[in-house]
Amino acid sequence: MSLALPEPVAIAPAAAGLTSIAPVVVEVPAGADDLAARIAGELAPLSPSLVLIFGMPAGGLADLGAGLGERLGGGCHIVGCSSAGEIGPAGYAQDAVVALGFPAASFRVGVCVLPDQAQVPVSGWMASLRRLHTGFRPDLRRSSFGVLLADALARHEDVLAATLDAAMPGLPVVGASTAKGINFEQSSIIADGREHHGSAVFLLIETDLAVAEISFSHFSPTGRRAVVTAADPQNRTILELNAEPAAQEYARLAGIPESALTPTEFARHPLLLRAGRRDHVRAIRAVTPEGGLQLLSGIEAGNILTVGRAMDMTRGFAAALDALPQMPLMVLGFDCILRRLALERAGMVGQMSRLLARYRVAGFNTYGEQHGGMHVNQTFVGMALMPPAPG
């Protein structure tokens, strides 16, 4: 069975003399036969300039991308990645492939591969991004935004996000750290017929639709604080908090026995880093054999961290989406897998799925999110696409 949302919709902005076409979302079981044919059949009427595919198809992403490229033509960019879970027309999905079609009538797209994340070639990345921007020549009368897909196992999303912010200042960018399944396995990222391991793909997108960036985290800071007194930044590991072994001191601050430190407790009691007038989650991945804390984001000695307190995930999410100026045609959304796991434990997946469907969110579950020039965790980030303002 496949699901599609919404039907192609034409929007005629008043006094603009233009016709915009809304994007379309298709969900198909990952093990379905003729996956490329089924997705292409739904999206071909759009004449898409871009198709994003998220999930782990049985035949592999590279083969699916090649099949879509053959069917949709050379004018359509095919970009995608594996995921820890998908978000489709009915909300959270599993063992599915979600495809997002962006019609050429409304969207223009540039693609840039940023290779060798582990080597951190910042100068090369910066040059490639600037060449993309110069050649793209954005139309300032239209909206522009960026999308970043980065290999989570390369562990350099912090530098990538900062590099993008420096190369294209003022451009709203949302991004996601990719992995495969819930066990943090090697991700697959494809762009225009090629698979890229250990790399990132950046999309520069221009549209005549209205856009708005969304960011939501369901934690507030407590009064329990700690200073990182020793760290291994390369491996994203806290060695000491308050001059004590990191795991031991974290357990004391969180009020739980050190023997009970599990992913469930890490998700309930995250560490928050204050930056840019906001508290950003520095999610804990595991306790190291030496008693350190390995994170999913960058950390340095001297950082001041606060233990977070969880809030109602669904109510805050609905409030963030209700604050949009108008109902979105689609929200390209990246949602941390730790949030989904917390919802599953709380028995609230159905409730959140209904909210995701109501606001037409489509995307996938991640191992980290990027926005505002930062790499964060346990956060939902998205780009809302809305009808253009009259005139």
> How many other C-beta atoms are found inside a 10 Å radius of the C-beta of residue 233?
14
pLDDT digits (tens, 9 = 90+) for 179-188: 888 877 888 9
The residue type of 128 is: S
385: left (phi over 0), alpha (psi -120 to 50) or beta: beta
Measured distance CA(59)–CA(145) in Å, rounded = 31
Question: 160 to each of 56, 167, 324, how far by Cα in Å?
Answer: 25, 10, 28
Strand partners, 332: 362, 383
Is residue 63 pLDDT above 90, yes or no? Answer: yes
Radius of gyration of the chain measured on its C-alpha atoms: 21
Is residue 335 pLDDT above 90, yes or no? Answer: yes
pLDDT digits (tens, 9 = 90+) for 89-125: 999 999 999 999 999 999 999 999 999 988 999 999 9
Taken in order of first residue, the domains within the chain and their CATH numbers are 3-216+315-386 (no CATH), 219-309 (2.40.30)
What is the band of 19 on the pLDDT scale with cuts at 50, 70, 90? Answer: low
Question: Which two three-digit tokens encode residue 354?
Answer: 């209904």
Strand partners, 278: 275
Question: Which two three-digit tokens encode residue 241?
Answer: 């908090």
pLDDT digits (tens, 9 = 90+) for 223-268: 999 999 999 999 999 999 999 999 999 999 999 999 999 888 888 8
- The closest of 8, 86, 19, 79 to 42, measured between CA atoms, is 8
Q: How high is the pLDDT of residue 187?
A: 84
Measured distance CA(283)–CA(261) in Å, rounded = 13
